[in-house]
Amino acid sequence: MGRRLLFPFAAVVGQADVKEALLIALVNPKTGGLLVAGEKGSAKSVLVRALAQVDPAKKIVELPLNATEDQVFGAIDLEQAMTCGRKVFSPGLLAHAHEQVLYVDEINLLRREVLTGILEAVDRGVNAVEREGISHRHEVRLTLIGTMNPEEGTLTPAILDRFGMFVAVQREMDVKVRADILRRVLAYEQDAVGFVAQYHDETEQLVQRCREAHQRLGRIEIDPAMMQLAAQYCTQANSAGHRAELYLLEVARTIAALAEREYLLPADMERAAYFVLPHRMRQEDAPPPPPPEAPSEQPEDQEPPQDQDSAQDPPPPPPPTDDQQAADPPPDKPDEADEPPPPNNGEGQERTADIDRNFSGAKLQVTLPQDRQARQGSGKRSLTRTDLKQGRYVRAILPPGTLTDLAFDATLRAAAPYQSSRPKGRCAIAIHKADLRQKVREKRIGNIFLFVVDASGSMGARERMKMVKGAIFTMLQDVYQKRDQVGLIAFRRKTAEVLLPVTRSVDLAQKCLATLPTGGKTPLAEGLDSALMLLRNLRKKDKNSRPILVLITDGRANSSDGGDPIAAALSAAEKIGRTGIPSVVIDTESDFISLAVARQVARSMGSTYYQLQELSEAAVVHIVQNALSS
Amino acid sequence: MRTGVYPFTAIVGQEDMKLALILNVINPGLGGVLIKGEKGTAKSTAVRAIADLLPAMDAVRDCPFRCDPAEAHHLCERCAERVSAQEPLPTQSVKMKVIELPVSATEDRVVGTLDIEHAIQFGEKKFEPGILAQANRNILYVDEINLLDDHVVDVLLDAAAMGVNTVEREGVSYSHPARFVLVGTMNPEEGDIRPQLLDRFGLSVTVTGEHAADRRVEVIKRRLAYEEDSDVFAETYKTEQTELGQSILRARKLLPKVQVDDALLMLVANLSIQLDVDGHRADITVIKAALTLAAFAGREQILPEDVKKAARLALPHRMRRRPFEEGVLDWSAVEAMFADPA
């Protein structure tokens, strides 16, 4: 393999930003690597793979998603150990990628430990391996390039920060350009050899340009004024740490070198900022930071400025652009003072609110800690050890008791060095009990989100339901990415109704949500009771399930089978609290006279409590569930 | 004709599914087909039948990946070495097979892993090929692909996109060709399939059971006849089968010669923009499917009908579909564009 004729770099139509960033990363490894994000089918990986043609001295070492740790970082050389009884280090992908380009496609799907391990090694310039009796260190200097489709999941800011540059790819919208793309793809597929030959000269020019730029790099001086400018950019972008400045200067220097200049222009810096800053920008009024042990994810904030041409002045990075956010101002928070107190009389009517799709970025993120209990299931949100013989083989350990899932490679490696000295009998290899290793497998398990929604008349007042639906909608979007399951219970009039039993189909959940009418009284206690029943059944069906209850109500409980509706609600809440099921309460009460029932309910359930208004103000809200680890 | 396989031409109805399968075997570069629909709609019968329909192909005899000696750019390491050492490649003809990927398959079975036996006996690392290796040049059939484990889907995706399976696990580092026609089936009521995976499928069709009573009767009649004596049944369809097999071969030969004019290219590009589909894979697939349709019809020129038919197979599953919006293809919009190409 490997002699396949790749689509020529020079033949890719458009995508000027990605091409430039790739050349910068290739010419100057000090620019800190590159992350390319974009929708599927936008030539991301075609370009990265084609990069090998631009610098014939460099290899593009690809790291497949199925790579195990020993393959990435290196391990004991099995053959040497078996035949000569010597412990020799067998280099992994990191060693092969030394002074080359390491490419990870779908980097957001790579296992977190592998990714952080790689970033760590690249950052320190050293890969230190301590495993299987091998202790080895070797130098790592490489250019890391990752591509990802943000729809499939995001990377944490800490990981994003490690990448020097970031580019977002978009598809071409011009009919002529698109037709041109089609023409070239067809030509390439019909006759790859001929097609590649057509671009031979252009490719050669590119090779030459990069070689010269590389030689020119060292001659480009950076004067103090430029350093000043770099610092200014970074302060304006509110970027954390000092990595950004260094990358900024290196990228600017490379841009100048590629432009065949031996001095820096402010325009170089501006262009550099376009690549270096977008993924580092922090919002000034960021919500209270989450606890340090829970890395947060900010999916929408990573897109780079879209309009690069208008950035004439030093502060180029416009605020993070999310199409929706840019187009529509966030809905104003309900202005209480101007409106009459809530009509509690709307209870007889029934209406159906729209989903507020522009619900201003209340990204509810539930960050769940990794737990130690073995579970089974499938999903993306939570990492969990699995005792099925399924899931990714992460690493091998000494068996904790009886061996159930033999890690053969590790066992063999453990036994190998002693083969020359051990009596073997009739077997080809002598394995002692002490050599046995067990596989540790890991799977991502989706959680079950049970939404319990107040659909009473009071919720219908003043677009409140629209906001609630908007909030649930954003949560559901996250749920979808993480492959969680959802259920939906609504309570109104006299009863609670399971509108949607727990399902994988987020589509169904959305349909239910869209048609959910409001009207009638608020039987909060009934809502909680039926939630409890559903949760108990879930546990019975599958003790490994991991439900999370999300209650959305204004707390105006006024209907109950008997007795005080509020007291009934609180006692139901306590029962849920005792199950230890993590929960979140979103309080939609926004009236003059606050009854704060929802807050009390939250306390009884031991939930995290939010007000809907807060959610609409904060860009990102992290709901951290530590309860699960207990 | 082997006994036991229901003849492709004897399948009643399901024209879209049959067409999508035929197009994929004419042009394996189309990217497979996703069949959505209820149980018992002849999905797996059709997949097995199409593989059976095709005449045998040339393959390197002792190669675990059945490399095609005629395709120098897609040989596995060993075959490539032999070619560069000027050794002749021994060939044999093999039938295209249907390789099934069970939903419970583990990742190591799918991508391949360390050959344990070999490691014990010889103290050497050797790669033991997995399902993706078997799938090279065959049909990879994944029933209920929406229930497949997430990371298995990820590696499947990777291999399908690249035509290469790269393995870095358990002490083995290996890569081999994995070019297959991916056929997935799913029942949409049982959960979603990730958009990223959807997009990798070239075509998609929705199948439903036949509704007309006489058609249903015909389905039953043929099935009974087949079960009674499959040889006799096969004999009845022999001419049709041979004809279809021949026209597939003819289409394969014709395919490289099929031309498309600029106006149609623009139309396809415009279609994708108007319908707001992600990326460029949609345009590319529509054009490739149209080329294949023209070849199947024995033409060297694409006609607007080819594009229209191709769009119906290649676009529905690519409609931009945020998690809760229905990805619906507005067919009237497509019709309008054909009526009045901008």
Rounded mean pLDDT, A191-202:
91
- What pLDDT, on a 0 to 100 scale, did the predictor assign at position A479? 65
CA A118-A124-A127 angle, 5° bins:
55
- What pLDDT, on a 0 to 100 scale, did the predictor assign at position A341? 39
Query: How does residue A321 score in pLDDT terms, banded at 50, 70 and 90?
Result: very low
What percent of chain A lies above the pLDDT cut of 70? 70
> What's the maximum distance between 2 C-alpha atoms anywhere in chain B?
70
Residues belonging to chain A:
630
Question: Would you call A504 and B190 a contact, using CB atoms and an 8 Å cutoff?
Answer: yes
Rounded mean pLDDT, B267-290:
86
Cross-chain CB nearest to A378 (options B124, B150, B268)? B150
Query: How does residue A539 score in pLDDT terms, banded at 50, 70 and 90?
Result: confident
Rounded mean pLDDT, B324-328:
49
Closest residue on chain A to B174 (Cα)? A1
Query: Please, what sign has the CA dihedral across residues B292, B295, B299, B305?
Result: negative
Active site residues of B: 281
Looking at the predicted structure, is the pLDDT value of residue A225 above 60? yes
Could you tell me the CA-to-CA distances from A362 to A300, A310, A349 in Å, in that order?
11, 29, 29
Question: Are the C-beta atoms of A185 and A177 separated by less than 8 Å?
Answer: no
> What's the maximum distance between 2 C-alpha atoms anywhere in chain A?
92
Closest residue on chain B to A152 (Cα)? B196
Query: How does residue B333 score in pLDDT terms, banded at 50, 70 and 90?
Result: confident
> Which among A129-138, A590-599, B10-19 has the top mean pLDDT?
B10-19
d(CA B142, CA B187): 12
d(CA B4, CA A314): 74
Strands (E), A82-140: 89-90, 101-105, 126-131, 134-139
The alpha carbon of residue B17 is apart from the nearest alpha carbon of chain A, in Å, by 25
- What pLDDT, on a 0 to 100 scale, did the predictor assign at position B24? 92
Q: Mean pLDDT lowest for which of A37-41, A379-383, A485-489?
A: A379-383
Query: How does residue A111 score in pLDDT terms, banded at 50, 70 and 90?
Result: confident
Set of chain B residues whose Cβ sits within 8 Å of the Cβ of A108: none
Within an 8 Å CB–CB cutoff, is residue B279 touching chain A?
Answer: yes
List, as one string, the DSSP characters of A405-460.
Answer: SB-HHHHHHHHGGGTTTS--TTSSS---GGG--EEEEEEEE--EEEEEEE-SHHHH
- What pLDDT, on a 0 to 100 scale, did the predictor assign at position B53? 86
- Residue type for A228, please? Q
Q: Name residues whose C-beta falls within 8 Å of residue A582's C-beta, 6 or more positions apart in sequence.
A: A548, A549, A607, A625, A627, A628
**B67-81, pLDDT tens digit by residue?**
888 877 788 888 888
- Residue type for B199, please? D
Closest residue on chain A to B104 (Cα)? A390
Higher pLDDT among residues B57 and A249, named by residue: A249
- What pLDDT, on a 0 to 100 scale, did the predictor assign at position A483? 63
d(CA A374, CA A372): 6
Looking at the predicted structure, is the pLDDT value of residue A334 above 80? no
Torsions phi, psi of A303, nearest 5?
A: -75, 140
Torsions phi, psi of A542, nearest 5?
A: -150, 105
Q: Is A141 a catalytic residue?
A: no
**In chain B, which among 31-60 make CB contacts under 8 A with chain A?**
none
Query: How does residue A217 score in pLDDT terms, banded at 50, 70 and 90?
Result: very high
Rounded mean pLDDT, B289-303:
94
Higher pLDDT among residues A369 and A477, named by residue: A477
Set of chain A residues whose Cβ sits within 8 Å of the Cβ of B274: none
> Which among A64-68, A255-259, A597-601 has the top mean pLDDT?
A255-259
**B173-190, pLDDT tens digit by residue?**
888 888 899 999 887 766
A4, A12, A36, A40, best to mutate vs chain B, most B CBs in 10 Å: A40
What does the CA dihedral A373, A377, A378, A379 come to, rounded to 10 degrees?
A: -50
Query: How does residue A159 score in pLDDT terms, banded at 50, 70 and 90?
Result: confident
d(CA A487, CA A533): 13
Closest by Cα among B221, B206, B224, B179 to B71: B179
Higher pLDDT among residues A147 and A477, named by residue: A147
The alpha carbon of residue B192 is apart from the nearest alpha carbon of chain A, in Å, by 6
Strands A351-352 and A363-367: unpaired
Looking at the predicted structure, is the pLDDT value of residue B298 above 90? yes
DSSP A384: E
Question: Would you call B151 and A93 a contact, using CB atoms and an 8 Å cutoff?
Answer: no
Give the position of tokens 């029932």: A597
Catalytic hit among A111, A216, A243, A464: A243
- What pLDDT, on a 0 to 100 scale, did the predictor assign at position A40? 77
Within an 8 Å CB–CB cutoff, is residue B81 touching chain A?
Answer: no
Exposure of A288 by Cβ count < 10 A (0-12 exposed, 13-18 middle, 19+ buried)? exposed
Cross-chain CB nearest to A42 (options B173, B268, B280)? B280
**A348-397, pLDDT tens digit by residue?**
455 565 555 444 433 444 433 344 344 444 444 455 555 555 556 667 77
Within an 8 Å CB–CB cutoff, is residue B196 touching chain A?
Answer: yes
- What pLDDT, on a 0 to 100 scale, did the predictor assign at position A286? 38
What does the CA dihedral A104, A105, A111, A114 come to, rounded to 10 degrees?
A: 0
- What pLDDT, on a 0 to 100 scale, did the predictor assign at position A67? 81
Looking at the predicted structure, is the pLDDT value of residue B63 above 70? yes
3-state secondary structure of A505: coil
Closest residue on chain B to A85 (Cα)? B123
Rounded mean pLDDT of chain B?
A: 84
- What pLDDT, on a 0 to 100 scale, did the predictor assign at position A79? 74
Looking at the predicted structure, is the pLDDT value of residue B82 above 70? yes
Rounded mean pLDDT of chain A?
A: 74
pTM of this prediction exceeds 0.80: no
Q: Interhelix angle for A175-190 vs B281-296, to 10°?
A: 50
- What pLDDT, on a 0 to 100 scale, did the predictor assign at position A546? 74
Looking at the predicted structure, is the pLDDT value of residue A308 above 60? no
Within an 8 Å CB–CB cutoff, is residue B179 touching chain A?
Answer: no
Q: Mean pLDDT lowest for which of A219-228, A274-283, A590-599?
A: A590-599
Higher pLDDT among residues A443 and A6, named by residue: A6
Q: Name residues whose C-beta falls within 8 Å of residue B332's C-beta, 6 or more positions apart in sequence.
A: none
Within an 8 Å CB–CB cutoff, is residue B208 touching chain A?
Answer: no
Closest residue on chain B to A75 (Cα)? B171
Cross-chain CB nearest to B73 (options A3, A63, A380)? A3
Set of chain A residues whose Cβ sits within 8 Å of the Cβ of B102: none
Tokens found for residue A34:
């590159």
Question: Would you call A70 and B189 a contact, using CB atoms and an 8 Å cutoff?
Answer: no
3-state secondary structure of B97: coil
Looking at the predicted structure, is the pLDDT value of residue A413 above 80? no
- What pLDDT, on a 0 to 100 scale, did the predictor assign at position B61? 86
List, as one string, the DSSP characters of B19-82.
Answer: HHHHHHHH-GGG--EEEEE-SSSSHHHHHHHHHHHSPPEEEETT-TT---TT-GGG--HHHHHH
